Amino acid sequence: MLPYKFAVIRLGHIGIAVANLADSLPRFAHLLGCDPDEVRTTEVPEEGVRIAELELGSVQLELLEPLAAENALGRFLRSRGAGVHHLCFEVDDIHATWERLKSAGLDLLSSKVKSVRDYQYFFVHPRSAGGVLTEFKQGKGE
């Protein structure tokens, strides 16, 4: 076992796959007592998704809609249906985390740490993470 060279700070968000944000967002907002007008919605073309972020105290719920039916999220929805897609953990050192997990032989879904908007991130394949797609991320200013 490799020594720890990073720390998980907290559960950052739970990713939920949905077929359509326009239909799903009001339902989740009502369920969780959020104002749908205060939800931040963005597109992440690098990942082929449109995201709606609902703030729930110290954790976000991230609703994910595929931008194309044939991308990874579209295939996920087709095979598994809507529901929990991934867990995201915020870490104190994204590069040390990537190196440690890669060195330990885990199946990482990218050849390097990716960067988008205001954070850096990478995913671990479910076969290396107990059946759960797992994301690690760190804010660029942290």
Mean pLDDT of the 81-87 span? 97
Question: Of the candidates 92, 87, 90, 91, which has an alpha carbon nearest to the alpha carbon of residue 124?
Answer: 87
Mean pLDDT of the 121-140 span? 95
Mean pLDDT of the 94-120 span? 93
**3.30.43.10, 3.30.9.10, 3.10.180.10, 3.40.190.120: CATH of 8-86:** 3.10.180.10
Element (DSSP H or E) covering residue 23: helix 21-32
30-54 pLDDT, tens digit per residue, is 999 888 888 889 999 989 999 999 9
Fill in the amino acid letter for 28. F
Q: With helix as H, strand as E and coil as C, how does 62-125 read?
A: EEEEECCCCCHHHHHHHHHCCEEEEEEEEECCHHHHHHHHHHCCCCECCCCCEEECCEEEEEEC
Mean pLDDT of the 2-10 span? 71
* pLDDT of 4 above 70: no
In this prediction, residue 12 carries a pLDDT of 93
Residue 99's CB: how many other CB atoms inside 10 A?
Answer: 15
Q: Where in the chain is the domain with CATH 3.10.180.10?
A: 8-86
SS3 28: helix
Question: Of the candidates 89, 92, 87, 90, which has an alpha carbon nearest to the alpha carbon of residue 6?
Answer: 92
Cβ pair 17, 73 in contact under 8 A: yes
* pLDDT of 56 above 60: yes
Distance of CA 138 to the CA centre of its chain: 12
